[in-house]
Amino acid sequence: MPLTAARVWPGAGIALADGHYLVRWPLVAVLAGVPCFLVGVALGATHPGEVYSYSVLVIAVFGLIGQFGAAFGLWATTGYAFGDLVLHVPATVYVAEEERLRVVVLPMLLSYGVLALFTVVAPLTVLGVRMMVLGATWLPRPAVRWVECAAAVLTAGLAAYTWARTAPMLLRPIFVWSGSVPTVDAVAPLQQRAWLLVVVVGATAAARVLLDRWALTGRAATFSQILWAGLGVEVAKGPRSGALGLVLVLVGAIGATFLLAGLISGYVQATAVFLFFVSLLAVRRLLLVRAPQAVAVLMKVPFLIRLAAGVWVGYLVGKVVISYFWTRTETFLPVLASACAAIAVITLLTLPPPGNPYRELPRPRSRHGV
């Protein structure tokens, strides 16, 4: 399934493959998605308030599941969506039927996308950093195992903290699209207990590194290398061409605009944001297809340095934008503009390398190997 999905969208294939260390126990690997889905259903049906942000413990469970594999996080998020949509009784149950799509369903779908940033995208970010460490030829091999674990913990903790700080703004449509305002109970848990998510997710990321080393031996290690090689071939093909490439650009732009809906005021801003992301994804595609030499030069700079530079530049740009607009508007336009600028900088500085990015990953040599 991961390789099939990767032929359409490499990112989807990588997400579905994350957690394949369970192939060491074939029956567990086949059934692992079921309990993750059921946990998601239970949390979706029983969580307090209108959305999961009312309980940091609920979110911590999702973070724990996701760090053991993005595929498991996807199963849990899908289960939560089912439980929340079908079994949970929201406070807005008496909304008029003609308003239900706009006031209830679309904001709930948005909340699942925000949750997926934590359960799927964050684990994939940790996985990407780990692979960069494993492929770093400049690191002494005895140091790789320690650097990999430290990098996983730091990346997971930073991702959890960032998500906890941004999620309340992204979840605003749950309330404002129905004419209310976010309650203190919906915002305070993430603002006051973000440290709990950092600890849980960081510890789980470290446990995941150790679990990978223990499980990926023998036939499981061989399977892992073959799987990553196959995924690398799909990544090496670059952006999809023709109608599929256009569809992926449009879907990506629509998804990004939808996730930022909590910061958008009106259809004019929504259209502007959508066109911005279409342009950004088009430029990214153009660089990868038409300027591979320039991308190759950029790739000579280590990924972690490029990522740090992107975050720093994005922060500076955002600070300037917010300072300029803050007293000129009462909307979230300053935050929206700074978020778009930061996303653009990070996207262009972290382009994927040309060729197969997984071809040089070290093969686990033994149960106690790196």
Q: Coil, strand, or helix at residue 20?
A: helix
- How confident is the model at residue 59, as a pLDDT? 95
Asked if 134 and 362 count as a contact pair (C-beta separation under 8 A), the reply is yes
Structure tokens that stand for 24 in this block: 């060491």
**How many Å is the maximal CA-CA distance in the chain?**
64
Which residues have a Cβ under 8 Å from the Cβ of 146 and sit 6 or more positions away?
none
38-63 burial by CB neighbour count: b if 16+ within 10 A, else e? ebbbebbbebebbbbbbbbebbbbbb
- How confident is the model at residue 267, as a pLDDT? 87
Full-model pTM? 0.83
Which residues have a Cβ under 8 Å from the Cβ of 357 and sit 6 or more positions away?
131, 135, 232, 235, 236
- How confident is the model at residue 292, as a pLDDT? 73
Write down the domain spans for the chain. Answer: 32-215, 239-351
- How confident is the model at residue 361, as a pLDDT? 46
- How confident is the model at residue 290, as a pLDDT? 76
In the DSSP assignment, the letter for residue 301 is S
Cβ atoms within 10 A of the Cβ of 279, count? Answer: 13
In the DSSP assignment, the letter for residue 48 is S
Alpha-carbon gap, residue 263 to 335, rounded angstroms: 7
End-to-end CA distance of the chain: 27
Tell me, rounded to whole angstroms, the distance of Cα 25 from its chain centroid: 27
- The residue written with tokens 């503009």 in the block is 337
Asked if 334 and 326 count as a contact pair (C-beta separation under 8 A), the reply is yes
Cβ atoms within 10 A of the Cβ of 280, count? Answer: 19
DSSP of 321-361, one letter per residue? HHHHHTTT-SSSHHHHHHHHHHHHHHHHHSPPPSS-TTTTP
Radius of gyration of the chain (CA): 21
Alpha-carbon gap, residue 343 to 277, rounded angstroms: 9
Query: Residue 352 corresponds to which amino acid?
Result: P
The helix-helix angle for 10-17 and 122-134 (nearest 10°) equals 90
Residues in the chain: 370
Which residues have a Cβ under 8 Å from the Cβ of 154 and sit 6 or more positions away?
202
Task: For the chain, list residues with pLDDT below 70.
Answer: 89-98, 236-241, 321-322, 324-330, 353-370
